[in-house]
Structure 1
Amino acid sequence: MKTFLMHPDRDFDPRSPSPRESLPSAQDIELEVLLNAAAGGDRYFHDTMAAACAQAWDNDIETIRYRQEVLKDCLAVPALVRKFYDIAIEPFGRERSWSFSLYDRDAGQKVASGVRTLQSCLDVLERLRKTCAANADRFASRGFRQFFATLEKNLDDDWLGAARTDLTNLSFRVGLLLSAQVGGGGKAVGTVLRKPQRSDLSWMHRMISPAARSYTLQLHPRDDAGAQAFAELQNRGLVLISDAIYQSAEHVLGFLRTLRSELAFYLGCVNLKEQLDRIGEAVTFPEPQAEPNRFRCRNLRDTCLALTMEQRVIGNDIDADGKPLVIITGANRGGKSTFLRSVGLAQLMQQCGMFVTADAFGASLRSGLHTHYKREEDRSMRSGKFDEELVRMSGIADVMRRRALVLFNESFAATHEREGSEIARQIVRALLENDVTVFFVSHMYAFARSFLDDERALFLRAERDESGARSFRLIEAPPLPKSFGTDIFRRIFETPEAADARS
């Protein structure tokens, strides 16, 4: 059985990236803030969401819309989805651990463990099917409807009854029936596990049905050698079915394990939505675009900034359709880095199949997200700051694919402006030639000016009035040659009285 809640044609892989292989852009877009909000203190939710983010770049538009439908159902009836999840995780709770191993056990132990696991899981599957059937009319998405149909088709009452009967027989409460031939040295060969006969199951049948003469051998309680011989015979018969029972139990547990992980993703989204609702941040479902070089948003806001500040934040309206290069300039502390982070988060959340914090958002699909932000000086003095920037850029180039999205934040500014601008210009041109979309925050006027006549470029500038006040919004405007150094002077040296007089 397949759950098909995350993909229309395959199961979701819940393995999250290891700490050594964490998402390369996570630090710069502050992804951990979003993951913690979605997790709600549950580490499994955190790791499942991280896995979904790592795999987001392989999703196509059909998968994204498929998940959006399922998520809308989850947001409409979160209590029901949590009930499904609570049922699915029962086999994995500490107090009811039904785990078993194929190794380091004899055949008898494997059969007994597998049978117990299957008997317990059948109860879980039956309650899950009945709960889903009773509430199926409250779900409209293709994903949930397909999931409910799978449960009804594969777990009807007749099948469950037959499965319970088979498992009862496999418990061998009345003993095992084996047949064998006598081989060389009096050893049993050709051992076969037989289906229990009717006369073996009921004393009444033994009374009324004639049977062939049989003999019974009883072991003395202290006959250790005899007990060992009988145990070997028993294991020789059970080994014929132990692997099949193990695989059956693993299949059932695998189904519940997959259901657990896929519901964990959607419940993580529900947790995130509830936190955003609490601080008054509205969300919308993005519209993924099939055409290349599409990016348009209305009131796009930084999700992680809102979660950190626990209040609504200022958004931006941007139309960059047909513009694979967006250069953002303007005064410090004007909202440039915040916008850059909101772009990366929105792109990632769209490709995961989630909502975004905006009034409207639509963008082309990307093959990956890469960030190149300025870093602090290398305190070990093994390399200079500019060398470190170039090394990181080389690492990004090694793993980047066509149609990727790259966010630069004041990159290559560790050297003088002429050299930094030329290096940045050559790198950006190479990326554009390879169908990579670039958002670049920079104070290097020479770099920004070199793209003024390029039709592929859109220029944004952080708003600032003559008094130095910031609106934290970006407007479409060309770069300015001045650096707003007076703002820094005033912030450090101006007295409150002088500031009041100027205002």
Structure 2
Amino acid sequence: MKAFLMHRDQDFDLEGKLPSNEQVLTQDLELNTLFSAMAQKDEFLFKVVRKAVLSSLDDLDAILYRQDILKDCLKNPSLVREIYAIAVEAIEQEKKNYLGLFSRYPVAILHRSIEVLQMFVEMLKKLRNYADEQANKFDSEGFAAFFNMLQKELDDDYFASIQEHLKTLKLREGVLISVELGKGNKGTNYTLRKPEGKKQNWISQVMDRFLASKSTAYTFTISERDESGAKALSELKDRGINLVANALAQSVDHILSFFNMLRIELGFYVGCLNLQERLNQKGEPMSFPLPSTHYQRKHSFSGLYDVCLTLNLEQRVVGNDVNADEKDLVIITGANQGGKSTFLRSIGLAQLMLQCGLFVPAESFAANLCARLFTHYKREEDSAMKSGKLDEELGRMSDIIDDIRPNSLLLFNESFAATNEREGSEISRQITQALLEKGIKVFFVTHMYDFAHGFYDQGRDNALFLRAERQRDGERTFKLSEGEPLQTSYGEDLYNKTFGTKGEG
């Protein structure tokens, strides 16, 4: 049995390898805020959503497959949570039935497996009931296949067969074992045999004994005080049921693995439901993005906001409208503390959310897939640094170059500003030019006028220049609009706001 609720034809690998830059992405995009909102203090859910978000899908059909399943979940949140709860309960109940010191005894293994399998049967029946009664409320290919699998695999004959086997394996009528003699007359090929049938009544037993011409079997009785004999008989019994006990334990493991995978895969969607509830409470917009292939250049949206910022604030945050279709380079300049870094983070978050099948924090959003997502943000001064800030930035850039490939997306946030304007601009220009030539999309937040205006003067059709808005009185709107890079970032506004305007005593 397979759930296939994250991929069309394979299980979701919770222990799979994450991107080499996952720690950098987590830090620069503040991803732990997103993961925490989705997990709601559930460590297991945190692990699942972290793995899903950071493991970007690179196939359009796979993303749309997952989007359709999530749309079903958003339409039926209570039902999805109930199915998830069944998987969790099954796993927790199995853990409570612990063998401990008796794990090496076949009799104990058999007894434990029977109890667990009986519990699993009840949980599977609940899932089958959901398939019978609720399947018509779901439209996605993934849920249709899931419910169809439950109905096909868990039919009435299946449950009847299991109950019959469990009844037999309780061995209430004793144990019938066959054995062969091996070398040195040692027993070999111990095999548990099926009982011959129902017990005969006492009249039949008397008649059989009376009519039998001679005995066809030999019997012996062990004295109640014969501990050695009882031990030997117990060992014979263990040998006889060993294969059956192991086979039943494997069956339990098989069903347990199904519940584990169901919990993992539905866990991602439960995390999505948690996030949707948080954003709905604030009245923030959400939409399903329109993905396109790697080779297209799509990046247009309305009302895009930083989901991690809004999760940390009581009020709603400002969204932005941008059309960067057919653009390889977006350079963002403008007023200090005008929302440039927040906008850049919203770009990275939306890309990750798109490529894991999630909705995005925007009124509408369309973008091409990226092969990999990278960030290169400025870092605070580190007293433990063995070299200067510029060397450290260049070192991180070198690491990115080692991993990056065509059709990736790279976000720069005030990079290479640790040196003078002229040198920083030249470094930025050469790196950006090389990236563009390799088919890599670049978003660059910068205060370096020489760098930004140098590209602006080239009149590139594939470049877009955005500027953080500043009102005439110095107030920031946190909106970005198209505009030529300016020589000032209006740092005096921040000075005046902090220390008062000139002339104030």
Note whether the superposition's TM-score is higher than 0.5.
yes
Inter-CA distance 227–186: structure 2 relative to 1 (3 Å threshold): farther
2:475 counterpart of 1:469: yes
How far off its partner does 1:248 sit? 1.6
Residues 463, 153 of structure 1: CA spacing in aligned structure 2 closer, same or farther, 3 A cutoff? same
In structure 1, distance between residues paired with 2:164 and 2:282: 54
Q: CA deviation at 1:64?
A: 1.3
CA deviation map 1:447-492 (0-9, x unaligned): 1123221332211111113322211111111211234242243234
Decide which of 453, 476, 496 is 1:490's aligned counterpart. Answer: 496
Which residue, out of 441, 449, 452, partners 1:448? Answer: 452
Which amino acid in structure 2 is aligned with residue 353 of structure 1? G
Q: CA deviation at 1:16?
A: 7.5
Q: Does 1:50 align with 2:53?
A: no
Report matched runs for 1:412-431 at 5 Å: 412-431=416-435
Cα offsets for 1:367-420 (capped at 9, x unmatched) = 222111111111124222222212222222222233221111001111111221
Q: Does 1:411 align with 2:415?
A: yes
Which of 458, 465, 477 is the aligned partner of 2:464?
A: 458
C-alpha contact (below 8 Å) 2:131/2:147 kept by paired residues: yes
Name the SS for the 1:475 alignment partner.
strand
| One-letter amino acid matched to 2:329 | L
**Residue 281 of structure 1 aligns with which residue?**
284
In structure 2, the residue matched to 1:271 is 274
> Matched residues in 1 for 2:481 and 2:116: separation?
62
My pick for the range that moved more, 461-470 or 230-239, is: 230-239
Counterpart code for 2:49: M
Q: What secondary structure, in the 3-state scheme, does the structure 1 residue paired with 2:178 have?
A: strand
- 1:206 CA displacement: 6.1
Cross-structure match for 2:436: 432
Length-normalised TM-score, structure 1: 0.92
Percent of matched pairs sharing the same residue: 47
Match of 1:259 among 262, 277, 280: 262
Give 3-state SS (helix, strand or coil) of 2:50's partner: helix
Instruction: Sort the Cα spacing of 1:382 and 1:39 in 2 relative to 1 into closer, same or farther, 3 A.
Output: same
Q: Spell out, residue by residue over 1:275-303, the C-alpha distance to the aligned partner (whole angstroms, 9 max, x if none).
A: 10111101111111125221111111111
Letter in 1 for 2:243: L
Match of 2:131 in 1: 132
Distance 2:174 2:406 in 1: 65
Report the residue type matching 1:159 in the other structure: Y
Q: Which residue of 2 aligns with 1:192?
A: 191
Q: CA distance change for structure 1 residues 497 and 133 in 2, over 3 Å: closer, same or farther?
A: farther
* 8 Å Cα contact 1:378/1:384 also seen in 2: no
What letter matches 2:304 in structure 1? Answer: L
1:443: Cα distance to partner? 0.5
Distance 1:178 1:477 in 2: 87
Structure 1 residues 27 and 215 mapped into 2: Cα distance closer, same or farther (>3 Å)? same
Residue-by-residue CA offset, 1:130-164 (whole Å, 9 max, x unaligned): 13321122111111111110000000111111111
Which amino acid in the other structure matches residue 277 of structure 2?
E
Query: Contact 1:91–1:98 (CA<8 Å) still a contact in 2?
Result: no
State the Cα deviation string for residues 227-256 of structure 1 (Å, max 9, x = none): 333233233323333443232211111111
What is residue 221 of structure 2 aligned with on the other side? 218
Query: Cα 1:235–1:332, aligned 2, differ >3 Å: closer, same or farther?
Result: same
Query: Is 1:480 aligned with 2:486?
Result: yes
Distance 2:21 2:470 in 1: 40
Question: Paired residue for 1:327?
Answer: 331
Aligned counterparts of 1:101 and 1:482: Cα–Cα separation in 2: 71
User: What residue number does 1:207 align with?
Assistant: 205
Equivalent residue, structure 2, for 1:339: 343
* Residues 135-174 of structure 1: pairs in structure 2 closer than 5 A: 135-174=134-173
In the aligned structure 1, how far is the partner of 2:261 from the partner of 2:318?
A: 39
Residue in structure 2 matched with residue 227 of structure 1 by the alignment: 230
Rounded Cα–Cα distance in structure 2 between residues aligned with 1:312 and 1:472: 12
- Mapped partners of 2:250, 2:449: distance in 1: 65
Q: Is the 8 A contact 1:292 1:364 kept in 2?
A: yes
CA 1:344–1:286: 2 relative to 1, 3 Å: same
Q: Which residue of 2 aligns with 1:60?
A: 59
Q: 1:238 to 1:486 in 2, by over 3 A?
A: same
CA distance in 2, matches of 1:55, 1:370: 13
* Uncovered stretches (5+) of structure 1, i.e. residues with no partner: none
Hey, what does 2:11 align to over in structure 1?
11
* 1:362-441 mapped onto 2 (5 Å cutoff): 362-441=366-445
Q: Which moved more, 1:223-232 or 1:433-442?
A: 223-232
Whole-angstrom CA distance in 2 between matches of 1:165 and 1:289: 53
CA–CA separation in structure 2 for the residues paired with 1:322 and 1:198: 78
Give the structure 1 partner of residue 244 of structure 2: 241
Across the two proteins, how many residue pairs are aligned to each other? 497
8 Å contact from structure 1 (residues 294, 364) kept in 2: yes
